[in-house]
Amino acid sequence: MTAEVNSWAFSDTDRAAVYRAIQTRRDVRSHFRPAALPDEVLFRILAAAHHAPSVGFSQPWDFIVVADAVVRQAVKVSFDRENARAAENYEGERHELYQSLKLEGILASAVNVCVTCDRARGGPHVLGRNTVLDADLFSTCLAVQNLWLAARAEGVGVGWVSILAPNDLARLLGLPDHVVPVAYLCLGYVTDFAPTPDLERAGWGERIAVDTLVHRDRWGHPYKHSDDTAAQPLPESPEPPC
């Protein structure tokens, strides 16, 4: 590719940093430090989330920063109840492994953030949402991903607590009927970003090779590529000095 065609590409260093943020992002549950998260860092991260793409430029997200210990304890109670119910889905060794997993950092993290979706934002006819009504929810998930990658660039860990009843969150956080919780996140500085995801390290699952997931033109037709274009690991930028 000529320089003219690729004139909008990042420099090698900047591009490697983007890929490094993607590759080293982790769902953090157990490595939080007690240090506070400064507002200026938190708002940089939330501003990055707010710059996510959204259907019809509707920007359906809001961010509820949950710092109050009483509210967080109530959310933890909801998690404990739902986690006990989820454990019933497994038996034998799988059940024991599930019980051993650390799946939240609600109380240990510096702050919690609930990312919501206002399903009425933009009015009854949002451009691009006529056929797929859940495009607003998809947009909100993109905001979550932006948040996660920005946090990683800031050295801030994020853990998504999905084992929560949406009705509990809506009640505890006082959400209007047209606003739904999409992601309950735990944010804070960490002692470590693990080299591999927790669930992979614990033996719960393995990363699927991307080559097996790429189809050409229709399902079940593998995308054939030459050996020299086989999927390579994401490029990394050098680790910063300690």
Q: What pLDDT score does 232 carry? A: 57
Amino acid at 140: T
Q: What pLDDT score does 242 carry? A: 38
Contacts of 110 (CB under 8 A, 6+ apart): 32, 34, 35, 36, 37, 187, 188, 189
Q: What is the dihedral of CA 160, 158, 80, 60, to 10 degrees?
A: -40
**What band does 26 get if pLDDT is binned at 50, 70 and 90?**
very high
Cα separation of 48 and 186, whole Å? 17
Q: What pLDDT score does 241 carry? A: 42
pLDDT surpassing 50 at residue 211: yes
**What band does 81 get if pLDDT is binned at 50, 70 and 90?**
very high
pLDDT per position as a tens digit, 134-148: 999 999 999 999 999
Query: What global pTM score does this model have?
Result: 0.91
pLDDT surpassing 50 at residue 198: yes
pLDDT per position as a tens digit, 158-187: 999 999 999 999 999 999 999 999 999 999
Which tokens hold the place of 26? 């982790």
pLDDT per position as a tens digit, 92-128: 999 999 999 999 999 999 999 999 999 999 999 999 9
Determine contact, residues 19/172, Cβ cutoff 8 Å.
Answer: no
What secondary structure, in 3-state letters, does the chain show? Answer: CCCCCCCCCCCHHHHHHHHHHHHHCCECCCCECCCCCCHHHHHHHHHHHHCCCCHHHCCCEEEEEECCHHHHHHHHHHHHHHHHHHHCCCCHHHHHHHHHCCCCCCCCCCEEEEEEEECCCCCCCCCCCCCCCCHHHHHHHHHHHHHHHHHHHCCEEEEECCCCCHHHHHHHCCCCCCEEEEEEEEEEEECCCCCCCHHHHCCCCCCCCHHHHCECCCCCCECCCCHHHCCCCCCCCCCCCC
Report the length, in residues, of the chain. Answer: 242
Which of 37-46, 56-65, 217-226 is predicted least confidently?
A: 217-226
pLDDT surpassing 80 at residue 87: yes
What domains are defined for the chain?
26-228 (3.40.109.10)
Residue 117 bridge partners (DSSP): 61, 180
Q: What pLDDT score does 49 carry? A: 98
pLDDT surpassing 60 at residue 192: yes
Which tokens hold the place of 211? 């080559």
pLDDT surpassing 70 at residue 156: yes
Q: What pLDDT score does 6 carry? A: 82
Q: What pLDDT score does 5 carry? A: 73
Q: What pLDDT score does 234 carry? A: 56
The mean predicted confidence, pLDDT, of the chain is 93
pLDDT per position as a tens digit, 219-241: 999 998 876 655 555 555 555 54
Q: What pLDDT score does 110 carry? A: 98
**Rg, C-alpha atoms of the chain:** 20
